[in-house]
Copies of this chain bind each other. A is one copy, B any other.
Amino acid sequence: MPKTSQAAGLHRASLDKLHDLDAALELMYYGWRGMTLEADDYLARQGLSRPHHRILYVVARRPDIAIGALIEILGISKQALNRPLNLLLERKLLTSKRSPEQHRSKLLRLTVAGQRIEQKASDHERKVMRAAFDRAGVSGAAAWMAVMEAIADNN
């Protein structure tokens, strides 16, 4: 587990631009860091990290999700899921129970404590996004979403 880290500021470096899109590449990098910095810091103070948050985030939005479906969404192996998932269960941030009829699969759910941590961590990220969107206005926010969708769906 990470110690109470201090989230190195890491100011954006000013590099010469060899291409006109270099600024965009760097903004994607620093944007991701900027959005997740405070959330990661909060999570570290709880003895958790990004993979734990991803699990909590998905389960919050898919109550009673089975483990297999969670693996699918997260895109990792069950062995990789195992450790962070067990920690969350031990800490009672998640519960798992077998459903009455489909007794083969386990259904995951957040506890109240799990909901609190998921919400606080995601709030840190949403706060950053909200501040940026407020500055950009409604049309700027919509344009940002449209560009990000085009990038995300590039596959």
Contacts and interface: CB of A to CB of B under 8 A. Distances in A.
Interface of A: 8-13, 15-19, 21-25, 27-28, 30-35, 37-38, 58, 60-62, 72-73, 75, 122, 125-126, 128-133, 135-136, 139-141, 143-155
Contact of A34 (B10, B61, B126, B151): B151
Most buried by B among A61, A151, A155: A151
Contacts of A152: 12, 27, 30-31, 33-34
Contacts of A35: 25, 28, 151, 154
Nearest to A128: B154
B122 A25 contact: yes
6 contacts: A15-B61, A25-B126, A28-B32, A34-B152, A136-B146, A139-B143
Question: What's the dominant secondary structure at chain A's contact region?
Answer: helix
B16 A62 contact: yes
A128 B151 contact: yes
Contacts of A27: 145, 148-149, 152
Contacts of A17: 61
